[in-house]
């Protein structure tokens, strides 16, 4: 399904932060992880991810570090991003915001 671009763009930040809360990941790995978790429902245009990552990195919510990949790609270096302490606080805030927003939209649409 093709979601509105505004909706996709607005959701990148909480999704990236949520992805990184368990382990550090590199860009392509994140794209794959989102596709897998949403069963292809949320198919990112891959390029949109990097500006978002750089913005979050500049804001200090995530930190990038070059290192060698694990497993079969061991020889190759990739830039891994990890969530920072302020990134975790931001994630909690965004999750709460999303929950309330979701409730409000649901209430309007379905009267629940």
Partner 1 sequence: MAWDDQLVSRITDRLAGDAELRREVARELRAHLEDSAREFRQAGLGEQEAADQAAKALGDPRELSEELWRANRGRMRFRAVVRWAASLALLPAAIAVIVGLALSFHGLNVTSAVFSEDGLPKGVGRNLTEEQLYVLRGDPKATTAELRAKSIADRWPDNPVYFGNYFAFAQLGFHEDGKPRPDRLDDLLALADQGERVDPDNAFYNVLKAALMCEVSSTVEDDTSLTHEVMDRTGKVTTRPFRKITVTDPAMFNRGLEEFRRGLAKPLFTDRTLEMMDLRLAMLGTPRQLADIVATTAMEVSVLLPSLGELRGLAKAVTAYAIDQAARGDQSAVELACSVELMADRMGASSKALIELLVAQATRQTALAGLEQVGKKLGDDALAEDAFARRREQEEFTRDLLRKRRAIDSWQLPHAGMLWSVLMPSLPGYAVNFEPLRTMESLTVLHVALLELLATLVVLAGIFGLAALWGMLRRADRPILLFVGWRRIGRIVLLSIVLPLALYGPYAAWQVFEPRAYGLNYSLDRVLVELAMLLCAVTALLLGMSYRAIRQRCLEIGVEAPPPITPRKRRLTLSAAGLVALACAIFIIYWWAGPSPSIGPFALFGVELPVQYTPGLVLAGVVLAMGALWVLRELIALLRSRLPEFRRTFFRSAMPILCSAIIVVGLAVGALLSLGETSAGRRATGLGAMSFSAEIDRSDYRLLRERFAAWGQEAQDRAASQPAE
Which stretches of the chain bind partner 1, using CB under 8 A? 26-28, 45-48, 50-52, 54-55, 58, 66, 76-79
Q: Which is nearer to partner 1, 27 or 91 (CB)?
A: 27
Q: Which residue blocks in 1-112 are alpha helix, DSSP H?
A: 5-20, 27-37, 49-58, 85-110
Shortest gap between Cβ of 94 and partner 1 (angstroms)?
Answer: 18
Q: Output DSSP code: residue 23.
A: S
Q: Which is nearer to partner 1, 85 or 112 (CB)?
A: 85
Shortest gap between Cβ of 42 and partner 1 (angstroms)?
Answer: 14
Shortest gap between Cβ of 22 and partner 1 (angstroms)?
Answer: 21
Q: Which is nearer to partner 1, 76 or 85 (CB)?
A: 76
Q: Which is nearer to partner 1, 27 or 87 (CB)?
A: 27
Task: Give CA–CA dist 16/27, Å, rounded.
Answer: 10
- Two structure tokens written together for 7: 């909706």
- Asked whether 79 and 27 are in contact (CB, 8 A), the reply is yes
Cβ neighbours, 10 Å, residue 61: 23
Task: Give CA–CA dist 110/112, Å, rounded.
Answer: 5
Shortest gap between Cβ of 45 and partner 1 (angstroms)?
Answer: 4
């Amino acid at each position: 399904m093709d979601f509105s671009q505004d909706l996709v763009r607005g959701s990148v930040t909480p999704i990236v932060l949520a992805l990184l809360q368990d382990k550090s990941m590199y860009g392509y790995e994140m794209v794959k992880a989102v596709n897998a978790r949403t069963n292809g429902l949320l198919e990112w245009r891959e390029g949109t991810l990097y500006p978002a990552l750089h913005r979050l990195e500049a804001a200090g919510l995530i930190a990038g570090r070059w290192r060698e990949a694990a497993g079969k790609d061991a020889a190759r270096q990739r830039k891994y991003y990890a969530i920072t302490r302020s990134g975790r606080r931001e994630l909690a805030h965004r999750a709460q915001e999303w929950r309330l927003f979701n409730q409000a939209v649901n209430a309007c649409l379905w009267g629940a």
